[in-house]
Every structure is written in structure tokens, then in C-alpha cells.
Chains A and B, each alone.
Chain A
Amino acid sequence: RKEVEQDPGPFNVPEGATVAFNCTYSNSASQSFFWYRQDCRKEPKLLMSVYSSGNEDGRFTAQLNRASQYISLLIRDSKLSDSATYLCARDSWGKLQFGAGTQVVVTP
């Protein structure tokens, strides 16, 4: 089993709608998690960090469920510019382990 797993998608979302997707992890000792956004052929950019139960930044909400070992990302009021691949990562002794990413496509 992979350390960090994500549904590859794509999640096709109408503009203005809400979309949510999860990332599961296998190591219950994991403490820190991150959501990154990666555009095609570009580097990942940090969206938000998740240390306790969750985090919220504008239209984006991340939640951590330690019992079920997953983190989620919810995007409200989707914009066309939200179309990207969303990578989750967990911190493993200072190193990041990434999932393969979830593709989100926001349509007009």
C-alpha cells in the first residue's frame, strides 16, 4: 500500500459549485500534512498546512481525520482558475511524501 493515496480524478466541477476530495495515509504517526496545487508542467505551490483537526483559508477548507487516517480538501464557489492537480503530502521526519494528485477541472 502506498504511503499517501489520492483519487486521481478528474473531478469535473461546474463553476460556482463545491468540490471535495480526500487523501488517505497509511502511517498513523504522521503529524503534519499539506495540500499543494500543481498546474500542468509547473512546480507545486503550497495551498495550506494541516496540523490539528483542520484549516480554512477563504474558499478552501482542509480537514484531518486521524481516526480514519485521511485529510480532505473542500473548495467552495469553484473558479475556473481552480482547475489544477491537487497534491497532498505528509511530513515524514522533515521529508515530504506526496500523493499522485487529484485533478480538478472547473467548467463554465
Chain B
Amino acid sequence: GAVVSQHPSRVICKSGTSVKIECRSLDFQATTMFWYRQFPKQSLMLMATSNEGSKATYEQGVEKDKFLINHASLTLSTLTVTSAHPEDSSFYICSANRDSGAYNEQFFGPGTRLTVL
């Protein structure tokens, strides 16, 4: 299977700081990556679709100025949580899309656990 990495795996920061999370597809190219957020005992909620070379598309209710996404290459997308607050504490997971025959397969990164104090 394809491998997707995320860095960092865990981050603790003070309220008001910005945090950058990297998502890399290690052995395939990904024109499309997705960013999800998961609160405890809840489902993964899609935040945005990251498209290489163009602007990300955000889901309803997700502030694009707060969650900055950059997809500068076919193997790297970054999510920056700006001016983080305690309510942003969550498990952030990316996935990378690899075209695979009849359907697009998504491969998930290991996730980043953000704690904002």
C-alpha cells in the first residue's frame, strides 16, 4: 500500500500561536489531499480539499483564514492552524488521493494530535 506521513505526530502549544502540520505522500504523487479533524468519539469531519497548484476548497463552516492550506508540490500539503485556541485541540488527519483504476483511493496519514493550552 501507499504511505502517507504526517509531521508532527503530536504538538502542544500555547493559545494564540500558530501550528503547521505537514502531510507527505512518500511513494506516490497526489494531486489531491484532504484534511480531516476528529474530536473524541466523533467521526472524521472533512475540513478541506487541498489541490496541488491551486487554492484549497473548504467545507462549510471551516474558516479558510484560520486553517491555511498550501499544496506546493505533488507530495506535500501543509495545514497551518493560525492563532490556535483550546477549542482547536483535536486530532488532525490528512489523506492523499491516488488515482487507482475505477475509483480514487485515499491513503491516510497517522494523524497529528494538537493540544492548545
Give A residues with C-beta under 8 Å from B: 4, 8, 32, 41-46, 49, 51, 87, 91, 94-101
Do A43 and B103 touch (CB < 8 A)? no
Could you tell me which B residues sit within 8 Å of A by CB distance? 32, 34, 41-46, 49, 91, 93, 95, 97, 102-106, 108-111, 113
Q: Which residues of A are found within 8 Å of B103, using beta-carbon distances?
A: 32, 49, 51, 91
Alpha-carbon separation in the docked complex, A42 to B38 (Å): 11
- Taken together as a complex, chains A and B put the C-alpha atoms of A44 and B46 apart, in Å, by 14
Contact between A94 and B44, CB atoms less than 8 A apart: no
B94: nearest residue on chain A (CB-CB)? A43
In the complex, the answer to whether A96 meets B41 with C-beta atoms within 8 Å is no
Q: Are B43 and A41 in contact (CB under 8 A)?
A: no
Whether A100 contacts B42 by the Cβ 8 Å rule is: yes
- C-alpha gap A46/B111 in the complex (Å): 15
> Contacts A43-B93, A43-B110 given: A98-B43 contact, CB under 8 Å?
yes
Which residues does chain A contribute within 8 Å of B111, judged by CB atoms?
41-43
CA distance in complex: A45, B24 (Å): 17
A100-B43 CB under 8 A given contacts A43-B93, A45-B108, A94-B97:
yes
Contact A98 B44 (CB under 8 A): yes
Chain B residues closer than 8 Å to A41, beta-carbon distance: 91, 111, 113
Q: Which of A8, A44, A49 is within 8 Å of B108, CB to CB?
A: A44
Point out the residues of chain B lying under 8 angstroms from A100, CB to CB: 41-43
